[in-house]
Amino acid sequence: YCFGSKFSRPDRFNKKIQCDQKKVKDIMFKDEVGEKKSFCRCWLSEKWPYCDGSHSKWNKLTGDNLGPVVVRERDT
Ligand code: FES
Question: For the chain, what is the domain count?
Answer: 1
61 assigned to some structural domain: yes
15 assigned to some structural domain: no
Q: Is there an atom of ligand 1 within 6 Å of 51 CB? A: yes
56 assigned to some structural domain: yes
Task: Give yes or no for a contact between 22 and 28, defined as CB atoms under 8 angstroms apart.
Answer: no
24 assigned to some structural domain: no
Distance from C-alpha of 58 to C-alpha of 74, rounded to nearest angstrom: 29
Q: Ligand 1 center to residue 7 CA distance, Å?
A: 24
Domain residues for the domain of 51 are 36-72
14 assigned to some structural domain: no
Q: pLDDT, tens digit, for every residue of 11-68?
A: 888 888 888 888 899 998 888 888 899 999 999 999 999 999 999 999 999 999 999 9
Give the pLDDT of residue 4. 67
Q: Above 0.95 for ipTM, yes or no?
A: yes
Distance from C-alpha of 31 to C-alpha of 41, rounded to nearest angstrom: 22
Q: Ligand 1 center to residue 5 CA distance, Å?
A: 25
Which CATH number do you get for residue 52?
A: 3.40.5.90
Q: Ligand 1 center to residue 16 CA distance, Å?
A: 13
SS3 state at 76: coil
6 is catalytic: no
